[in-house]
A and B are shown apart, each in its own frame.
Chain A
Amino acid sequence: MASVWLVLVLWIFVNALIKVIQASSCAQIHTPASVVLAGSPVSVSCSIEDECPLTKGKDFRVAWKINNHFAPSNLSYQESNRTYGLIIPSLLDTDTFIQCAVCEGENCQIVNGVQVKARYPPPVPQNLSCSLNLTSKRFLCQWDPGQEMADLATKYTLHIFSVMSKKVLSYKYVIPVGKHFHLIPRESYPLLLKVEINVTAVNVLGNATSETLKLIPLETAMFDPPEINGIEADAVGCLNYSWSLGKSQQWLTIAISLELRLKTVNNRQNKELVVPFTKKPRSKLNVCDLFHGTNYSTTMRVKYSSLSKWSEWSEWSDPKIAATVMKAPSGSLDTWLKVDDQNAQLYWKPSENFRANGWNLFYTVESMEPKKILCVTQESHCFFNLIERVEKVYLRATNAAASSNHTEVPVYRNRGLGSVSCSSNVHPQSETSVEIEWGGTPTSLSVTGYVLEWRSLNEMPAAPLSFTLMDKNISSTILTGLRPYQPYEVSIYPKYDKGIGIPCTLVAYSIQKASSVAPVLNTREYSNERNGTIRGIQKKYIDIYIYIYIYIYIYIYIYIYIYIYIHVYIYIYIFRFITILYIQIYFYIFKLIAIYTVSATFASFHDWNEIRYGIEMMLFVIPACIGLSLLVFVVFACFGKHERVKMCLWPIIPDPANSSIKRWTTTDSMQGMPPFKEDKEPVLVYLSHFSLLDLDEKEPFKSDYVKENQWSHHIDSCDESHSSFQTCVRCDSELDRDSVPYATVLFDGPYQNHSSCPPPYVRSESTQPLLGADDPGSPPPYENVSPRGSVSKVQRFTAFPQNPTEENEELWEEFPMLRSLEITDTDHI
């Protein structure tokens, strides 16, 4: 029920809407067709609504506008009371806008309009063609649609029909819009029967049918290349071919067109021969009139029929080579015999009609009287001796089959007959030819001809002689086949009936030729930083190189780091040292990278290069030095004696703190000191400074009394095996009071005395309370040692006078407490 209501409401709404729309429109315009055939008449009618406000109670007229121009009044008419019509007798414009206007006086208002299109029937499809693919069995037809109208859909229909044995086969295919080809399915076309095919284009205004093709589907197919199965040279000058079609056409038995193409192989007479046939497959093909004893390379191709315009030649087959039967050489040879007493030089060459007719050609020169073979050669010349009575020699060519007829060569012994007037001229004609002209001969002698001979003067070994025989009427000739601008010796011999005349000899050159090979330009690029290349490297590659450098360096650093890190565990003692070194290395790396980055960013190219070279140098040299020293260090650490290294690196300083100043000995703290060899000069250990403090009075004694060298040593008491130092400070009993005096002992010694491994730091300081003497015994005897040269240097550091022995004694007296000092030098280093 609700749905019924809904429908009703909708209907009322739609109805009302339509009424509103109609009410808003003042006129209805109507034309029978919006698309018409171009040139056909068009009629339009316009009905003015009664409610139209433009017409209500007004005197109005209706005017027509065609493409914004008022239509001539003779075209319009009034159909009925409020309906007006317009007839355009022939519409030619493709798009025409026809408007209906209501006019009151001169004021016209357009009330409605319509667009009428003038169009044409489809153009006739052109170039319809079909082709059959024998492998895929696709029979494809295609055509050109011509100028189609975009807004008018054109449909195509392909018809294929054939009439055979009173039966008509007809198939029709509707082609989808936009396609201009069709694959005809196999069941719709025969292979060997004639079919007719056409295409019809249809649009709303008409249709057009293409020209009808009449063809046999097979004739549109391109055959596979045929195969030459065998060639027989059965008859002289003939070749007999057996052949077959390609595999997918072997079923064919009808006669087809084919062509044989023959080419001579390795023969001077390089001729091509194309022989057409129309033959059934598998029949024999016979080609005759070929050269004898010649290799022929043969290929063949086929097509359905040479009469059909649809047929296409197949590809050429693979070539097969066969030789024709040999025969004796035929034709004559041109000869040129030069006799000098008994020496004869015979040159020959094949004349135009000469045919070798075979291979393995050789020549025989012989004389008949006496019968003698003078020479046998494969060359084209021969030198031999001639005896007096020989008047003719004979030349014949022989191939593998037989010998040719003899060519007779008369022997002229008369030489030096009248010469050619040597006003010869040489005119270079081209790069390979020259024209030779020569003058006449003495009229007393009848010339029978001329011999022109020439040879290159520039060839090693001497070039063979070439010659040409010429008629007596000729007085100039053109030599061809010369090498550009090479000297040739040219001689013209006149031939008389009785002998040979004196030649005219000259040297001829052809025109120069430009070098055919361009010189190879070897270029080498030098470092030209200002032009943007560095050692032949272009700028764009430099950044890449830098990155590679940095990567390599970082890699090396990491490698070294890992190497060292491992060794750090092994040689744990040097760990701290390495760490410090590494911090330094990384500091360098980061500094360099920073320099690079900054310089690459801000420096100009030229400046940058300088920086780069600097960086490069630093990158190489500094890590190399560090690495090298590390290596030395590691090697040293590995292989050196541990004790000594340790002593060198961290020497043990005698520490007075560990001893009582009263009875101070270095015995304990000197454990780590390397034992010195006995052969060394005994070294003195010096107590350089001694001060006393009284903490109670908070006033130190001015007690810089004691100085090196002032203390004697008991050399006698030197223990060989054990080095110790004992100092006994004996306090005077008078000064033995409550306050605890402190004493500072400075321990010093000259470096020079320790040539092998001197303790680098031999100063030590200790301030501690002076204890009472445990065992106040008489001090051990001591003696002052006179200062030596080496010691004197050390004395400069002291504030004591050079010869303080007496002073010291006075001081001792002034400071009676010091008297109690007892220094016992049990041993020395």
Chain B
Amino acid sequence: MMGLCYCCNLVTLRIFFLITVAIMNFQAALLVTLVGIVASAPISDKLDIMNKDTIEQAHSLINKILQDIPTTHAAWIKSKSLTLGDSKARLELEFLKKDMYIPSAPVLQLISNNFSMETCLANITKGLQLHLNLLKEISNATTLAQTDQVKDLQAEIYELLLLIEELQNQAGFDPSKQASDEESQTPEHDLAKRLTNEYLTQVAAHLTLQQLQDFSCDILRSIHSMTSSLAENPNTVQLCVNKAGL
């Protein structure tokens, strides 16, 4: 009996140890990524062309979006089981996300030779448009009450979209071409049909806001990589880390 207990204790200790190591690795990886973004962001020639004020405005807006996502979530989604940044719930809802055909956000990477500024901006536009559409569709679902916060968030996303498109224009990229590409790539999803009851609508709203938060953090990092050469503002990265609940 004593031996069994001892064994149990050992197993528990090992599990704790593994978890600790995993968390530390994760934090280290995150730190490396962030430092990488800050330190090794390649300054594109295009940055000189882009209006710094526009970049700063985009920076402010993505800050505001990140600030408003939790309040929107709190106001819109009443289910207590759906909380932002809950990684366990995120795994559990993986199936429903696929089942409801909620498309994933485009991937944003460090601006490098493989991932150009043009692609980055195009992906940001695409992702913002995607989430704007998702929010619109979920808002139109009658099973979930509309809130002012969602409208505010949509307005902010739309404004950011305009700013990013403005940046694309300034840099000489063709947003219309990107848009047409994105339209051809993104299949027409009819999410509304699948929002058959309030719970599913709430899940869809939760998943959308969760994904928007993650994507916004990526946008913040991308914008930060652009602004880092202009002005240091480490607080915003910290903000994203906090908001993402990492």
User: Could you tell me the distance between the alpha carbons of A252 and B59 in the complex, rounded to whole angstroms?
Assistant: 8
| A187 contacts the other chain (CB 8 A) | yes
Q: Given that A165-B168, A253-B56, A280-B233 are contacting pairs, would A192 and B163 also be in contact in the complex, using a CB cutoff of 8 Å?
A: yes
Query: Does B67 contact A250, Cβ atoms closer than 8 Å?
Result: yes
Distance, CA A593 to CA B166, complexed state (A): 97
Are the CB atoms of A251 and B60 closer together than 8 Å? yes
Report if A251-B64 is in contact (Cβ < 8 Å); known contacts: A186-B152, A282-B235.
yes
Q: Mark B63-76, 1 if CB is under 8 A from A, else 0.
A: 11011000000000
Whether A137 lies near B152 (C-beta < 8 A) is yes
Whether the Cβ atoms of A251 and B152 lie closer than 8 Å is no
Per-residue B-contact encoding for A179-219, CB less than 8 Å = 1, 0 else: 00000011101111100000000000000000000000000
B162→A165 contact, CB < 8 A: yes
- Give A221-260 interface residues, CB cut-off 8 Å to B: 250-255
**Counting CB contacts under 8 A, is A166 at the interface?**
yes
Q: How far is the CA of A251 from the CA of B63 in the complex (A)?
A: 5
Interface hits, A141-175 → B, CB 8 Å: 164-167
- Within the complex, the shortest CB–CB distance from A429 to chain B, in Å, comes to 60
Query: CB < 8 Å: which of B56, B59, B63, B154 contacts A187?
Result: B154
- In the complex, are the beta carbons of B60 and A253 less than 8 A apart? yes
Proximity bits, A255-296, B CB within 8 Å = 1, else 0: 100000000000000000000000010110000000000000
Tell me if B152 and A193 are in contact (CB < 8 A).
Answer: no
Measured CA separation A253–B227 after assembly (Å)? 11
- Contact in complex: B60, A164 (CB < 8 Å): no
Enumerate chain B residues within 8 angstroms of A193, measured Cβ to Cβ: 57, 159, 162-163
* Contact flag A254-B67 (CB < 8 Å), given A165-B166, A193-B162, A280-B231: no
B63: nearest residue on chain A (CB-CB)?
A251
* B85 at the A interface (CB under 8 A): no
For B56, what are the chain A residues with a Cβ–Cβ distance below 8 Å?
253-255, 280
B135-178 vs A: 1/0 string, CB under 8 Å?
00000000000001001101110110011011011000001000
| Chain A nearest CB, measured from B193 CB (Å) | 25
Q: Contact: B61 with A192, CB < 8 Å?
A: yes
Does B236 make an interface contact (CB < 8 A)? yes
Q: Which residue of B lies closest to A169 (CB)?
A: B162
Chain A residues near B63: list those with CB within 8 A. 250-253
Cβ of B53 within 8 Å of any chain A Cβ, yes or no, is yes
State the Cβ distance, B94 to closest chain A Cβ, in Å.
31
Name the B residues within 8 Å of A280 (CB-CB): 56, 231, 233
Q: Is B159 touching A191 in the complex (CB atoms < 8 A)?
A: yes
In the complex, what residues of A have CB within 8 A of residue B60's CB? Answer: 192, 251-254
Contact A187 B151 (CB under 8 A): yes
Q: Is the CB of A187 within 8 A of B155?
A: yes
Nearest neighbor of A247 in chain B, beta-carbon distance: B67
Is A253 a contact partner of B163 (Cβ separation < 8 A)?
A: no
A-contacting residues, B31-72, CB 8 Å: 53, 56-57, 59-61, 63-64, 66-67
With known contacts A165-B168, A254-B56, A280-B233, A186–B64 Cβ distance under 8 A: no
Q: B148 near A186 (CB under 8 angstroms)?
A: yes
The answer to whether A190 touches B168 (Cβ under 8 A) is no
- Whether the pair B61, A191 counts as a contact (CB closer than 8 A) is yes
* A190 and B155 form a contact (CB under 8 A): yes
Q: Which of B152, B162, B231, B233 contacts A164 (CB 8 A)?
A: B162
Tell me which of B53, B154, B166, B235 contacts A254 (CB under 8 A): B53
Contact B159 A190 (CB under 8 A): yes
Give bound CA distance, A283 to B236, whole Å.
13
Which residues of A lie under 8 Å from residue B159 when comparing CB positions?
Answer: 190-193
A-B contacts counted at CB < 8 A amount to 72
Contact yes or no, B57 A192, CB < 8 A: yes
Return the chain B residue nearest A162 by Cβ.
Answer: B162
* A425 to B126 Cα, complex, angstroms: 93
How many A residues face the partner with a CB closer than 8 A? Answer: 22
Q: Which among B53, B57, B168, B235 has the greatest number of chain A C-beta atoms within 10 A? A: B57
Closest Cβ of chain B to A229, distance in Å, is: 12
Q: Is the CB of B57 within 8 A of A251?
A: no
Known: A165-B162, A191-B64, A280-B233. A254 touches B155 (CB 8 A): no
User: Bound state CA distance, A121 and B225, in angstroms?
Assistant: 56
Given A165-B175, A190-B159: A253 in contact with B152 (beta carbons within 8 A): no
Closest to A248 in B: B67
Bound-state Cα–Cα, A699 to B70, Å:
133
Mask of B92-122 contacts with A, CB within 8 angstroms, 1/0: 0000000000000000000000000000000
Q: B72 to nearest A CB, angstroms?
A: 13
Nearest opposing residue in chain A for B231, CB measure? A280
- Given A137-B152, A166-B169, check contact A253 B162 (CB 8 Å): no
**Are A165 and B169 within 8 A (Cβ)?**
yes
* B179 CB to nearest chain A CB (Å): 11
List A contacts of B169 (CB < 8 A): 165-166
Determine whether the beta carbon of B165 is less than 8 Å from that of A164. yes
CB neighbours of B231 from chain A (8 A): 280, 283
CA distance A190 to B233 in the complex (A): 24
Nearest CB in chain A to that of B56: its residue: A254
* Chain A residues, Cβ within 8 Å of B148: 137, 186
Which residue from chain B places its CB closest to the CB of A187 in the assembled complex?
B155
**C-alpha gap A405/B11 in the complex (Å):** 76
Give the docked Cα–Cα distance between A191 and B67 (Å).
15
- Residue ID in chain B nearest A167 by CB atoms: B162
Query: In the complex, which residues of chain B have a beta carbon less than 8 angstroms from the beta carbon of A191?
Result: 61, 64, 156, 159
Please, how many angstroms separate the alpha-carbon atoms of A251 and B66 in the complex? 9
Q: How far is the CA of A254 from the CA of B62 in the complex (A)?
A: 12
Q: What residues on A are CB-neighbors of B57 within 8 Å?
A: 192-193, 254
With both beta carbons as reference points, the residue of chain A lying nearest to B236 in the complex is identified as A253
Cα A305 to Cα B36 with chains together (Å): 35
Closest Cβ of chain A: how far from B167's Cβ, in Å? 8
Q: How far is the CA of A253 from the CA of B162 in the complex (A)?
A: 18
CB distance from B168 to the nearest CB of A (A): 7
Give Cα distance in the complex from A166 to B165, angstroms.
9
> How far apart are A686's CB and chain B's nearest CB, in angstroms?
116
Task: Determine whether the beta carbon of A186 is less than 8 Å from that of B155.
Answer: yes
Give residues of chain A (581-598) contacting chain B, Cβ–Cβ below 8 Å.
none
In the complex, what residues of B have CB within 8 A of residue A186's CB? 148, 151-152, 155
A251 to B151, CA, bound (A): 18
A187 to B154: give the CA distance in the assembly, Å: 8
Residues of B within 8 A of A137 (CB): 148, 152
Taking the closest CB of chain A, its distance from the CB of B26, in whole angstroms, is 27
Question: Roughly how many angstroms separate A252 CA and B158 CA in the complex, as a whole number?
Answer: 17
Compute how far the CA of A283 lies from the CA of B234 in the bound complex, rounded to whole angstroms. 11
Chain B residue at minimum C-beta to C-beta distance from A185: B151
- Please indicate the chain A residues that have their CB under 8 angstroms from the CB of B233 in the complex: 253, 280, 282
Q: How far is the CA of A134 from the CA of B155 in the complex (A)?
A: 15
> Quick check: B59 and A190 within 8 Å, CB to CB?
no
Q: List, in ascending order, chain A residues with CB within 8 A of B165's CB.
A: 164-167
Tell me how far the C-beta of B17 lies from the nearest C-beta in chain A, rounded to whole angstroms.
Answer: 39
Contact A190-B162, Cβ < 8 Å, known A166-B169, A251-B60: yes
CB neighbours (8 Å) of B66 from chain A are 251
Scan residues 529-573 of chain A and give those whose CB is less than 8 A from a CB of chain B.
none
CB proximity of B139 to chain A, nearest CB, Å: 11
Residues of B close to A166: CB separation below 8 A: 165, 169
| Contacts A165-B165, A193-B162, A193-B163 given; does A253 touch B59 at CB 8 Å | yes
B58 smallest CB distance to A (angstroms): 9
A186 to B159, CA, bound (A): 11
Rounded to whole angstroms, the CA-CA distance of A250 and B162 in the bound complex is: 22
Cα distance, A191 to B60, chains bound together (Å): 10
Cα–Cα distance between A195 and B63 once the two chains are bound (Å): 22
A143 shortest CB reach to chain B, Å: 24
> How far, in whole Å, are A165 and B160 apart by their CA atoms in the complex?
11
Min CB distance B71 to A, Å, is 11
**Can you sample 7 A-B contacts with CB below 8 Å?**
A191-B61, A191-B156, A251-B63, A254-B57, A280-B233, A282-B233, A282-B235
- Besides A165-B175, A185-B151, A192-B163, 7 more A-B contacts (Cβ < 8 Å) are A137-B152, A186-B151, A192-B57, A250-B67, A252-B63, A253-B236, A282-B233
- Nearest 3 pairs between A and B by C-beta? A165-B165, A251-B63, A251-B64
